Chains A and B, each alone.
Chain A
């Protein structure tokens, strides 16, 4: 009963906070300090318009928001999946072998702090294709958090569990697949969650330069000087990112060994 009440209470408080925010937003917009700044009413009007017909196609500069969102999601999913195929095994080997760690570490340390957008011109130069470049940028973005989390996880595997595996005569490959990999699953998922978060941040910026996708939608509306639609895109990007993050939280709960 009290737990139910607490949930209801937090919903009410959140709802109240959002309503209050929208009222203040509308008031500030109407005060006309910044000319033509869209208010909350206009923004939500546009939001309803866009989501009531998300899939229309009148050429690349007039695409429904649903199509743009799907284009962005597709790029993220392909780039991200490819990155995971590389990051998880490499992370495991980095964690297991000092030699692999020493040979991979310089790249990780050097490339991790570089903004993924710096790779965009390289991608365009190499692939001569904006679609593949977008995927490439997401690939580079997504690799590091998962790789690093995986390798750190391997180093923190319970040494007694590893001793048990060895005392049973487990081979190295058996130990990696049957002991280390499941033991590191929580770390891998935590890394994957961060990777997904960053990928979703980066795709918006990358698409402003690439054409099509939700990022390009924002850039296009800026060129049209239609700011309300930019807010619409921000709301949709935020909600999508939230859903993606919740998906990983759900997965993490499935691999929580402690409780």
Chain B
């Protein structure tokens, strides 16, 4: 089961220029220091091992797996926020060298700057990533992207004055404002209540279907992955986590939750995913 399939899209012929992200034999090892009474031992914890993944341009890919399997680690590596131990990552054919505004990152806990207003947060992103813009152009863009996420009336509100869902919408607007070719989302709906979550999922889906970029979503939710993705990457449990399976989700777009939930394909894939997650989670729980 832990075979490590190299992704290939069977319906299309493999073309290099279609590939946005190519991960080859990636390994990530964390040094873990364990202090005992007399000495300090540095042990190596292999978080990710032998990851091979190909993400096509402007597709939506979800990463799903048991807790602690290194999903966030992989996202951080792609964002250029952490260095990997061995292997290779190519972004649009070029070696990944570090973070860059071609990739917009969205975190679970919004990561808004609490001293800035909603518009101020976007303005900071624009000022940092696109220094060529004038203040008035930045203001224009801030307004445009807040409008896109339906927050034009909360432009001048501070994060403490708005709900969790609104905060995440600001974070989404911020990530989109710098015009990235790729969106990296680390459980973006994880901290929201169920109703807000399903509302925001559909909002993000709508925005993405209108303005396609390459999207990588980390999630714990099978329904979320099915609703949004073209492909679902299943990760095995860590340590030495790798990719267990990659499942295509050929459901038609634009997707509407109520309609696709009744699709027999949706139900089939859902069962398959549940089975996998249960098995991997059991492996995690019983190993400790």
User: A-side interface residues toward B, CB under 8 Å?
Assistant: 158, 160-161, 163-170, 174, 178-179, 182-183, 185, 255, 257-259
- B124, A178: Cβ atoms closer than 8 Å: yes
Within 8 A of A (CB), among B89-111: 99-101, 103-105, 107, 109-111
Is A167 touching B99 in the complex (CB atoms < 8 A)? yes
Q: Of B100, B104, B109, B115, which contacts A185 at CB under 8 A?
A: B115
- CB contacts (< 8 Å) of B109 on chain A: these are 158, 160
Chain A residues touching B, majority SS:
helix
Query: Quick check: A158 and B160 within 8 Å, CB to CB?
Result: no
Does B260 have its Cβ within 8 Å of any Cβ on chain A?
Answer: no
Structural contact, B81 and A166, CB atoms closer than 8 A: yes
Contact of B125 among A163, A168, A182 (CB under 8 A): A168
Contact B115 A164 (CB under 8 A): no
B149 vs chain A, min Cβ distance (A): 17
Pairwise interchain contact A170-B128, C-beta atoms closer than 8 A: yes
Which residues of chain B come closer than 8 Å to A258, judged between CB atoms?
A: 114, 160
A-B contact pairs, 18 of them (CB 8 A): A160-B107, A163-B76, A164-B105, A168-B178, A169-B99, A169-B100, A169-B101, A170-B128, A174-B128, A182-B115, A183-B113, A183-B114, A185-B115, A257-B115, A257-B158, A257-B159, A258-B114, A258-B160
The answer for the CA separation of A259 and B103 in the assembled complex, in Å, is: 32
The answer to whether A163 and B113 touch (CB under 8 A), given A169-B101, A258-B160, is no
CA distance A169 to B126 in the complex (A): 11
Residues of A within 8 A of B112 (CB): 161
Closest to B186 in A: A160
B39-81 interface bits toward A, Cβ cutoff 8 Å, 1 = contact, 0 = none = 0000000000000000000000000000000000000100111
Beta-carbon contact of A160 and B111 below 8 Å: yes
Is B251 part of the contact surface with A, judged by Cβ < 8 Å?
no
CB of B128 within 8 A of CB of A163, answer: no
- The reply to whether A165 and B79 contact each other, CB–CB distance below 8 Å, is no
| Alpha-carbon gap, A255 to B115, bound state (A) | 8
Known: A163-B105, A258-B160. A169 touches B128 (CB 8 A): yes
C-alpha spacing A257/B128, complex, angstroms: 22
